[in-house]
């Protein structure tokens, strides 16, 4: 294994500020215009040959983006003008490990100054090791991307059937609250560390609802926390809907028994109304929930309001629908489990990369 050496960031990458291009002057060609948060439009000219990297300079600062082909680097970004012989893809992954917010020079709008980040001390390996690390991480990314695209296709197939059976075709309806049990949760007191320390019970917050299967949560709580709060156990395959603030209407299926906070409403599936139907119902109801949200400080919906919405009363049709789409959801769930494993593997590699602990022979 080659020796990792210390450099200034500016010795291995030369950054330059991008070029202004008003939205009104983007003429819709096939060249992506790279903004601080990704592609913001298309043009017929490029400023930078691919492969290349940008990081956010203004607004959304420091987030690296990789462009395989030629692109226009917008003035809200810094782009790599010179890689100094280093591997482009490796440097893209390496930059993902750097916290550029520490170099923020803006007050109202976050900003990066290239002269400041050029002084950052970093450790990187020789080129051959860069190429091998980049190849491994790229392979993981390819697998992750493939699974995401497959899941998108699987859900679209189920959604098409749901739309045809329950949206386009008029059916008799009943109140959700009359046929499906709902519940909400609570937040154990933050005054007691013992409620969170060494917790083993998944505790869902509304910001985690991911429009898919939720496999695990950011925070876990203890059994004592459940017993001394409004948090309660919710069975696997329950469909969760966010009720408060910016996340109103977001939804997910929990893959195992979990608990949740008070900002989440849980729909518990049953024999007549399985999770496949409830999940797609929540998806099609999202815009309605946004329109129904009300409140002075923030826009909210309530569990009572959710229970007052209509669902199909023809349970035989709902059951038939479930039998058709359940294999799609099972495959989607298995893909999510695989995605979680791949993303965890990638994060471990990146963590070791930034801490100069990566042994190429371990990969």
Equal CATH topology for 5-124 and 172-313: yes
pLDDT of 14 strictly over 60: yes
Q: Is the bond leading into 181 cis (omega within 30 degrees of zero)?
A: no
The CATH number fitting domain 5-124, selected from 3.40.50.2000, 3.40.1210.10, 3.90.220.20, 3.40.50.720: 3.90.220.20
Domain 172-313 class, CATH top level: alpha beta
In the sheet where 38-43 sits, what is the strand order? 38-43, 31-35, 72-73
Q: What is the pLDDT of residue 360?
A: 66
Distance set, CA 170 to CA 162, 213, 321 (Å):
12, 29, 15
| Residue pLDDT, tens place only, 191-248 | 999 999 999 999 999 999 989 999 999 999 999 999 999 999 999 999 999 999 889 9
Cα distances from 172 to residues 91, 166, 312, 317, in angstroms, run: 58, 10, 6, 11
8 Å CB contact between 84 and 45 = no
Tokens matching residue 255: 């893959």
Q: Is 254 exposed, middle or buried (0-12, 13-18, 19+ CB in 10 A)?
A: buried
pTM listed for this prediction: 0.86
Q: What is the pLDDT of residue 107?
A: 72
What pLDDT sits at residue 160? 98
Domain-by-domain residue ranges, the chain? 5-124, 172-313
């Amino acid at each position: 294994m080659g020796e990792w050496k210390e450099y200034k960031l500016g010795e291995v990458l030369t950054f330059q500020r991008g070029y202004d291009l008003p939205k009104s002057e983007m003429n819709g060609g096939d060249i992506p215009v790279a903004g601080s948060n990704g592609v913001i439009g298309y043009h017929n000219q490029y400023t930078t040959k691919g492969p290349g990297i940008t990081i956010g300079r203004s607004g959304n600062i420091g987030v690296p983006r990789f462009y395989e082909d030629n692109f226009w680097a917008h003035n809200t970004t810094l782009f790599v003008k010179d890689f100094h012989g280093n591997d482009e893809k490796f440097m893209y992954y390496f930059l993902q490990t750097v916290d550029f917010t520490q170099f923020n020079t803006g007050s109202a709008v976050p900003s990066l100054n290239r002269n400041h980040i050029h002084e950052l001390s970093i450790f990187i390996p020789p080129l051959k090791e860069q190429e091998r690390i980049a190849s491994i991480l790229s392979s993981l990314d390819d697998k992750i991307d493939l699974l995401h695209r497959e899941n998108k296709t699987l859900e679209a197939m189920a959604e098409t059937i749901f739309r045809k059976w329950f949206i386009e075709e008029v059916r008799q309806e009943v109140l959700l609250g009359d046929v499906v049990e709902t519940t909400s949760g609570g937040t154990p007191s933050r005054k007691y560390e013992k409620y969170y320390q060494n917790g083993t019970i998944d505790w869902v917050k509304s910001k985690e609802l991911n429009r898919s299967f939720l496999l695990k949560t950011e925070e876990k709580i203890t059994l004592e926390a459940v017993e001394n709060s409004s948090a309660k156990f919710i069975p696997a395959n329950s469909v969760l809907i966010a009720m408060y603030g910016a996340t109103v209407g977001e939804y997910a299926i929990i893959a195992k028994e979990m608990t949740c906070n008070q900002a989440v409403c849980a729909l518990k599936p049953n024999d007549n109304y399985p999770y496949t139907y409830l999940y797609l119902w929540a998806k099609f109801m999202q815009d309605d929930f946004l329109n129904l949200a009300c409140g002075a400080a923030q826009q909210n919906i309530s569990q009572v309001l959710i229970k007052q919405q209509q669902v199909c009363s023809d349970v035989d049709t709902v059951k038939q629908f479930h039998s058709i789409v359940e294999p799609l959801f099972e495959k989607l769930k298995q893909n999510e489990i695989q995605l979680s494993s791949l993303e965890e593997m990638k994060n471990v590699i990146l963590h070791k990369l930034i801490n100069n602990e990566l042994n190429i022979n371990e990969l």
